[in-house]
Amino acid sequence: MTRRYFGTDGIRGIVGETLTAELVERVGRAATIWSGRGRVLVGRDTRGSGPELEAALTRGIVAAGGVAVLGGVLPTPAVALLAQDLGVVVSASHNPPEYNGVKLFDREGRKLTDGEEEAIEALLDDPGPDGRPGGVEVLQDAAEGYVGHVVDRFGSDLSGLRVAVDCANGAYSGLAPAAFERLGAEVTAIANAPDGHNINAGCGATDLAMLQATVRAGGHDLGVAFDGDGDRMLAVDERGEVVDGDLIVAVLALALGVDQVVVTTMTNLGFHRLMAERGVRVHTTDVGDRYVLEALRREGAELGGEQSGHVIWLRDHVTGDGLAAALLLCGALGGRPLSEAAAEMPVFPQVKENVRVDRREVPPAVLEEAERITVELAGRGRVLVRPSGTEPVVRVLAEAEGAEEAAELCGRIARLVREQLG
C-alpha cells in the first residue's frame, strides 16, 4: 500500500487547502483506533491554525473512544518524551505559517514506521466504535517538566557564556532562553514573541540571517536557532558563520567519544573523512530523522543527525531534540570558540537547488546521469537527487572539492530534471 497523506515527517500541508480540519479529525480517530483507544497526548506549536486543528484532532480521538490529554503548546520532543499510549503534535515543523500538520509517536516516543502509517491510513474511513465516547483531560505544567528533564540530563555549567537564542517564534519561545539562563549563560533572545503568524518567518533554523546579525553585533560566543516545533537546531559561531548539522554532529562525536554515528545521504563528505580518521564507524540512511532513529536503535548507537539540524542523542532521550542538542554543543566546547571546534571537520563545497515540480518523482534518466557522474568523481564528489517528502520539489545536491565544479554539476542535473518533468 502506498501512503497517500503521510510524507517524510508526518502529514502536512497548507491549512484549508491540502490540510483540512476534517482530515485531521479522521487522522485522530484512525490513529486512536490503531493504538488501542487509550490515552493520547496532544501538543501543538504556535501557528494560528493550531487551536482549530487541535480541536479537530480531539474530536477524532474522543469519537474513537480514546482520552485526549491536552498539553497545549509543546515542542515536538516534549510530546515524544511524554507520550502516553500515543503522542500527537499539531505542527508543520520548519514550514511557513500557512502550513500545519500532524506528527505521531508511539507509546515509546518513537516516530511511526512507514508500515504503521499505512495501517493508520487504512483506518481513515473507519467510523469508530459504537460504545461510549472517550474524554478530554488537560495536562498541567507539561512544558516546565520537559525543560527540567532536558536541563538536568543535557545541561552543564554555562556561566559566562554569551548565547543568542533564536526561538523561531515557535514552541521554544520563552522556554529555551530560560533553560540557558538557568545554567548560567548570558542570553539574548530573538524571535521570542509568537503571534500565530510569525513562526519561522524570517527567523529560526530556516533563516539564520537575523541570528548572524545579532551575534556579530552583540559580541556573543555563539548563537543557536530552533525551528518552529523545536526538533531541529542550527548554530552560528562567534563570527556569525553558519555551523550546520553535519558540523554539530562532528563536534559532538569527538567530544562524546562515540565509536559509531548515524547520518543521512546528505551528509558532507568531509564528515565521512573526519570520522574515518578518528576510527568512528558511520552508518548512512535515507533522508529523514526517523530513518536515523531506526538505524540508531538497530545498530545500538546513540548519536546521529542530519545536515538540516536534527541532532539525536539517545542517552536519556527518545528522539531528536533541539534544546538538548544546543546544550550538548555548548558543553562540548570546553572553553574553545565554536569556530575552532567546528574547524576539525573539512567541508566539501555543496551546491543545492530545489526544482519545483508537479510530480514528486525522479525520472530514471536523471538518476542514471547522477550515478554516472558520482562514479566518475571516484570519491572526490557526488551528485544526489531525491524528491522532497514535504514539498512539491525535487532536491538536487552536488558536492565536489571545488565550489565551481559543484555549481556546474548541480546546474546540469537541475536542468535535466526540468527537461524530464517539464
- Domains within the chain, CATH numbers bracketed: 11-140 (3.40.120.10), 144-254+310-340 (3.40.120.10), 350-421 (3.30.310.50)
Please name the residue that has the C-alpha cell 562567534. Answer: 238
Whether the Cβ atoms of residue 170 and residue 90 lie closer than 8 Å to each other: no
User: Helix 403-421 crosses helix 364-377 at what angle (to 10 degrees)?
Assistant: 160
Confidence of residue 361 (pLDDT cuts 50, 70, 90): confident
Least confident of 2-11, 194-203, 333-342, 345-354: 2-11
Question: In sequence order, what DSSP letters do the residues of 136-192 get, joined into one string?
Answer: EEE-TTHHHHHHHHHHHHH----TT-EEEEE-TTTTTTTHHHHHHHHTT-EEEEES-
Instruction: Share the mean pLDDT of the chain.
Output: 95
Strands 311-313 and 135-138: unpaired
User: Helix 50-63 crosses helix 21-35 at what angle (to 10 degrees)?
Assistant: 40
> What is the rounded average pLDDT of the residues 231-255?
98
Separation of alpha carbons 113 and 291, rounded Å? 9
Least confident of 69-78, 194-203, 328-337, 352-361: 352-361
Whether the Cβ atoms of residue 242 and residue 217 lie closer than 8 Å to each other: no
Residues 6+ apart with CB under 8 A from 259: 279, 280, 281
Active-site option among 35, 93, 173, 308? 93
Q: What is the pLDDT of residue 280?
A: 98
Confidence of residue 411 (pLDDT cuts 50, 70, 90): very high
Separation of alpha carbons 286 and 265, rounded Å? 6
Sheet of 222-226, strand order? 186-190, 162-166, 222-226, 233-236, 242-243
**Which helix (H) or strand (E) segment is 71 a member of?**
strand 67-73
Separation of alpha carbons 379 and 376, rounded Å? 9
- Tell me the sheet residues that pair with 311: 305
pLDDT exceeds 60 at position 3: yes
Whether the Cβ atoms of residue 172 and residue 321 lie closer than 8 Å to each other: no
pTM above 0.85, yes or no: yes
416-422: Cβ within 8 A, 24+ apart: 416/365, 416/366, 416/369, 417/355, 417/357, 417/362, 417/363, 417/366, 417/385, 418/355, 420/363, 420/365, 420/366, 421/355, 421/357, 421/358, 421/359, 421/361, 421/363, 421/394
- 64 phi/psi in degrees, rounded to 5: -85, 0
Confidence of residue 359 (pLDDT cuts 50, 70, 90): confident
**318: its cell numbers:** 527518545
Question: In sequence order, what DSSP letters do the residues of 284-348 get, joined into one string?
Answer: EE-SSHHHHHHHHHHHT--EEE-TTS-EEE-TT-SS--HHHHHHHHHHHSTTS-HHHHHTTS---
Separation of alpha carbons 356 and 320, rounded Å? 29
Whether the Cβ atoms of residue 288 and residue 9 lie closer than 8 Å to each other: yes
pLDDT exceeds 60 at position 1: no
Q: What 8-state DSSP symbol labels residue 113?
A: P
**Is 93 among the catalytic positions?**
yes
Highest mean pLDDT among 55-64, 287-296, 413-422: 55-64
Quick one: which of 41, 26, 155, 142 has its CA closest to 88? 41
Strands 135-138 and 99-106: unpaired
pLDDT exceeds 80 at position 2: no
Please name the residue that has the C-alpha cell 563545497. Answer: 349
Confidence of residue 8 (pLDDT cuts 50, 70, 90): confident
Q: What is the pLDDT of residue 422?
A: 67
**249: its cell numbers:** 554532529
